[in-house]
């Protein structure tokens, strides 16, 4: 196992210890509905991207068949994916309602997912109505622990690659500036030497002209 896999495994184990899907209730519009919830040690954007990728991998096309994760595309705070068929949830088509929130003000990089499952027209299911579906949905949500950890790691790597590239570019600019300054310094040194030679020559010329003036003055006295 290479270092990347070891790191990912460690991150997954750490996340899994602190996160497991559980059954709860959450308000949707005016009613409390049975829901699954999961806490993840990842920010909301990484969680949203992971869910979207899971749906795409299952053949769902959110660009044309449902809402992307935009704030103005929510229903009572839930992102709705209609007529979704995920192999892990069975053969039936379902409407999946996701709500992703920041855990609290202090833990900005921890998120909570709430999932409502409807068979259509906001007919939400419950564990009592369909135990198998809810067990499968629980497995589906739990899979997000590893998937989101992997996605977050890849995002961190991508961002660090960007930071490294920017740092290298800055170093290259400094090196270019040094080369330009070296060139300017060499020219200034050459100009300085030329100036000193000019001063020496001009000093001789001044002395010659002074002597010529003195010779003329001597003639005047005579």
Report pLDDT for 34.
94
Q: Work out the pLDDT band at 7, boundaries 50, 70, 90.
A: very low
Query: Where do the domains of the chain lie?
Result: 3-161
Cα–Cα distances in angstroms (integers) from residue 177 to residues 173, 185, 192, in the given order: 6, 12, 22
Q: What is the band of 61 on the pLDDT scale with cuts at 50, 70, 90?
A: low
Mean pLDDT of the chain, nearest integer? 84
Out of 5-9, 35-39, 142-146, 151-155, pick the least confident.
Answer: 5-9
Could you tell me the pLDDT band of residue 219, with boundaries at 50, 70 and 90? confident
C-alpha closest to that of 96 among 28, 16, 19, 21: 28
Determine the Cα–Cα distance for residues 36 and 21; give it in Å rounded to an integer: 6
- Cα–Cα distance, 27 to 64 (Å, whole number): 28
CATH class of 3-161: alpha beta
Give kind and range of the element (H or E) at residue 178: helix 131-221
- Give CB contacts under 8 A, 24+ apart, made by 124-131: 124/28, 124/33, 124/34, 125/34, 126/34, 127/23, 127/34
pLDDT per position as a tens digit, 160-174 = 999 999 999 999 999
Supply the pLDDT for residue 66: 47
Structure tokens at 144: 């997000």
pLDDT on residue 10: 41
Q: Which residue has the higher pLDDT, 16 or 116?
A: 116
Q: What is the mean pLDDT of residues 92-97?
A: 90
Question: Which is nearest to 115 in space by CA: 54, 173, 204, 64?
Answer: 54
Reported as a single tens digit per residue, the pLDDT across 101-116 is: 988 888 888 889 999 9
Q: Residue 186, Cβ neighbours under 10 Å: how many?
A: 10
Q: Find the mean pLDDT for residues 141-147.
A: 86
- Tell me the two tokens of residue 113: 């997912």
What is the reported pLDDT for 18?
42
Q: What is the pLDDT of residue 25?
A: 94
Res 159: pLDDT: 92
Contact 109, 42 (CB under 8 A): yes
User: Under a CB-based contact definition with an 8 Å cutoff, are residues 113 and 78 in contact?
Assistant: no
Q: Give the DSSP H/E element, type plus range, for residue 22.
A: strand 22-28
Sign of the alpha-carbon dihedral angle for 61, 62, 64, 66: positive
What is the rounded distance in angstroms from the CA atom of residue 47 to the CA atom of residue 81?
A: 15
Inter-CA distances, 127 with 19, 60, 92, 102, Å: 20, 25, 16, 26
């Amino acid at each position: 196992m290479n270092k990347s896999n070891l790191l990912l495994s460690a991150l997954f184990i750490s996340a899994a210890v602190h996160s497991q899907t559980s059954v709860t209730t959450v308000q949707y519009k005016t009613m409390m509905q049975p829901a699954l919830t999961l806490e993840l040690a990842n920010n909301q954007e990484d969680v949203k991207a992971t869910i979207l990728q899971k749906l795409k991998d299952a053949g769902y096309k959110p660009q044309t068949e449902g809402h992307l994760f935009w704030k103005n595309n929510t229903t009572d705070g839930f992102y709705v994916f209609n007529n979704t068929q995920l192999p892990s949830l069975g053969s039936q088509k379902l409407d999946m309602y996701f709500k992703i929130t920041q855990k609290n003000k202090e833990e900005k990089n921890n998120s909570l997912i709430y999932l409502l499952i409807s068979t259509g027209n906001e007919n939400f299911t419950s564990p009592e109505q369909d135990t198998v579906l809810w067990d499968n949905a629980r497995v589906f949500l739990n899979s997000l622990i590893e998937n989101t950890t992997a996605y977050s790691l890849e995002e961190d790597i991508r961002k660090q690659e960007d930071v490294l590239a920017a740092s290298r570019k800055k170093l290259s600019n400094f090196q270019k500036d040094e080369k330009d300054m070296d060139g300017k310094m060499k020219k200034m040194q050459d100009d300085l030497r030329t100036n000193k030679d000019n001063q020496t020559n001009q000093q001789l010329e001044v002395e010659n002209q002074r002597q010529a003036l003195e010779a003329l003055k001597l003639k005047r006295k005579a």
